[in-house]
Amino acid sequence: MTIRKTALAGCALSLLGVMWASTSTSSAQPADYRTYFTFSAPVQLPGVTLPAGRYLFRLADPAGSRRVISVLSEDGRTPLAMLHTIPNRLLTAPQDAEVRFMETPADVPPAIKTWWYPGRSIGYEFIYPRPQAIQLATLTPEPVLTTRAETTDLDTAELARVSGSGAPSPVEVLENPPPVEPTGRAQRGEAVTADSSPAAGAVAAVQSPVAVARSAPRTQLPQTASPVPGAMLFGGLAMFMGLGLALWRRPRS
């Protein structure tokens, strides 16, 4: 009988371990990748220049295309920009959240080119409006991502990179682009774990128009988490219950 009780206790502890691992994995990384960046001087983003301060970057619609970035005030209550991006892949995933800047003269606010979330090699390269991109291209040595023709429909627009000299080069958007070496000055940010920030509730309340449109006709919440942790949990539960029953039914010698 003692062997049975010991085996059952071991099964229970193992099950608790599986449940804890599943819960901690899902709660450690919020679906919207919310990240804080603090800038000591003004910085440029597509269509906007942010004064020095602390800002919240996050995916505007984690359940959708995951290519639109929302930039908000530090408390998460004031939307400041909705920015379209394309995937940009590094050779090695960064350990910390970071943005990379284009090089600009000292009297020009630096322009943010890309944003990476920690542990993910594929980041987000911002698409600049064509007039702003052409102006930046005369100030920075690297090409600037923009649209081939001036437009506000960035979902379907053909993209190109413009430089200070030469014709625009076309851009093919790939979900898994070839890896590149990062360029430009890097600045680290603070990736926030789920519900660990006072602004978490405020951020949830500030939805993008895309997210609102998606949620309006639904009767169920969108599934933003992977089903893998749940499958692992139920599989482990079934395995340990079966083992426990087998030990309980074994005849005593």
Angstrom distance (rounded) from CA 61 to CA 106: 35
45 neighbors 72 (Cβ within 8 angstroms): no
pLDDT value at 117 more than 70? yes
Rounded to 5 degrees, φ, ψ at 119 are: 80, 0
What mean pLDDT is predicted for residues 164-178? Answer: 89
Q: Are 158 and 146 in contact (CB under 8 A)?
A: no
Percentage of the chain beyond pLDDT 90 is 57
Q: Provide the pLDDT for residue 178.
A: 95
What is the structure's pLDDT at 28? 64
* Local structure of residue 180 (DSSP, 8 states): B
Q: pLDDT of 198-225, one tens digit each? A: 555 455 545 544 444 443 443 343 344 4
The SS3 assignment for 169 reads: strand
Select the highest-mean-pLDDT range: 81-95, 164-178, 194-208.
Answer: 81-95
Res. 171: pLDDT tops 70: yes
pLDDT for residue 44 is more than 60: yes
Burial degree of 201 (CB within 10 A; 0-12, 13-18, 19+):
exposed
User: Is the per-residue pLDDT at 11 higher than 90?
Assistant: no
Q: How many angstroms separate the CA atoms of 83 and 114, rounded?
A: 11
Q: What is the pLDDT of residue 142?
A: 92
pLDDT value, residue 179: 94
Q: Where are the alpha helices (DSSP H) in 101-227?
A: 130-137, 200-205, 209-215
Looking at residue 51, its amino acid is P
* Highest mean predicted confidence (pLDDT) among 61-65, 191-195, 203-207: 61-65
Alpha-carbon distance 51 to 74, whole Å?
12
Is pTM, for the whole model, over 0.85? no
Q: How confident is the model at residue 50 (pLDDT cuts 50, 70, 90)?
A: very high
pLDDT band at 36; cut points 50, 70, 90: very high
The domain ranges of the chain are 2-28+227-249, 35-192
Nearest to 81 by CA among 110, 52, 54, 56: 56
Q: What percent of the chain has pLDDT over 70?
A: 65
The enclosing H or E element of 22 equals helix 2-28
Indicate the SS3 state at residue 170: strand
Contact by Cβ (8 Å): 85, 71: no
Tens of pLDDT, residue by residue over 118-136, are 999 999 999 999 999 999 9
pLDDT at 194: 67
Q: Are 111 and 45 in contact (CB under 8 A)?
A: yes
Please give the pLDDT value at position 122. 95
Average pLDDT, stretch 137-166? 92
In degrees, rounded to 5, the angle at the alpha carbon of residue 56 between the alpha carbons of residues 50 and 60 is: 105
Residues present in the chain in total: 253
CA pair distance 178, 195, nearest whole angstrom: 34
Residue 51 clears pLDDT 90, i.e. is over it: yes
Q: CA dihedral defined by 195, 201, 202, 204, rounded to 10 degrees? A: 90
